[in-house]
Structure 1
Amino acid sequence: MIQRIQTIYLLLAAIVSGVLCMYLPYGLGENGEELYIKEDFFLLGGFMGSSMLSLISIFLFKNRKLQFVLGRLNILLNFILLGVFVYWSLTLPGGSDPMKGIGKFIPIISIVLLVMANKAIKKDEDLVKSVDRLR
């Protein structure tokens, strides 16, 4: 059902990936200007894909196995985005200064929320299996 706790986690992950990433800079350019995700098509596509996967997973509450698989796929996508941020922070001029932009930590927040949602989905699936054994 939609009122389960994993729905809250998935909705928060969708909001973090889809909305919050637009307003937080992920780094500083060569001239000192702040870089936003909406200016880079690759990052924008990754974050919008992550947001859409979270929203699709919310409405697949009747198919918990597919919901769990989409959660894992979304976690993998966020790890790829995190890897891109780590690579860029190490290759940008100025080194890996953590104060370049707080937007780099958005994939970490999203991964944590998605892992918590997957734990709740797994718990529901185990509960349904245990009830089916009693019949």
Structure 2
Amino acid sequence: MLQRIQTVYLIISALIMGALYLWFPVVQDEAGTIVIHRGEPLVFGLIFGSIAFAVISILSFKKRQRQFVLNRLNILINFVLLGVFVYRSLTISGETLVSEKGIGVLLPIISIVFLVLANKAIKRDEDLVKSVDRLR
């Protein structure tokens, strides 16, 4: 059912990753040139993959095990994206124009938190179904 709490968590996670995609190209150095931009296929692929996994997980609400596995894969994608951001922020020399080196790193972390909450809710639903099956 689409009105369950894990659906809300997954929608929030997808919106956070969408906000990351919109925020991503604004990192500039002192000369005004864009240091990181949307044209990077690795980062774009990771962000798009995270959004796609969240949407597919929302739409597969009848299969809780598939939702659980998709959310775990999405968590792994977010950890890889987090690693890419940390690596890039450590290799950028100096300060950026508006000191935005570390702001984008928070969004995958927040997305991971909502994905973990969704997995806990899915696990709770699965345990409830198993307990009802035992009573029959």
For this structure pair, what is the TM-score category when the shorter chain's length is used for normalisation? 0.7 to 0.9
Name the amino acid aligned to 1:109.
I
Q: Which residue of 2 aligns with 1:16?
A: 16
Calculate the aligned-residue CA RMSD, in Å: 2.3
Query: Which segments of 5 or more consecutive residues in structure 2 lack a partner in the other structure?
Result: none
Q: Which residue of 1 aligns with 2:117?
A: 116
Q: Which residue of 2 aligns with 1:45?
A: 45
Taking every aligned residue pair, what percent have the same amino acid on both sides?
Answer: 55
1:51 and 1:134 map into 2 onto residues whose CA distance is: 38
Q: Is the 8 A contact 1:10 1:54 kept in 2?
A: yes
Q: Is the 8 A contact 2:85 2:104 kept in 1?
A: no
Q: Which residue of 2 aligns with 1:2?
A: 2
Q: Is the 8 A contact 2:89 2:102 kept in 1?
A: no
Q: TM-score, normalised by structure 2?
A: 0.87
Between Structure 1 and Structure 2, how many residues are aligned? 134
1:37 and 1:118 map into 2 onto residues whose CA distance is: 32
**Equivalences for residues 1-135 of structure 1 within 5 A:** 1-17=1-17, 19-25=18-24, 27-29=27-29, 31-33=31-33, 35=35, 38-94=38-94, 99-135=100-136
Q: Do the aligned partners of residues 13 and 55 (structure 1) sit closer, same or farther apart at CA in structure 2, a change above 3 Å counting?
A: same
Q: TM-score, normalised by structure 1?
A: 0.87
Structure 1 runs of 4+ with >4 Å offset: 32-37
Offset of residue 33 of structure 1: 4.2
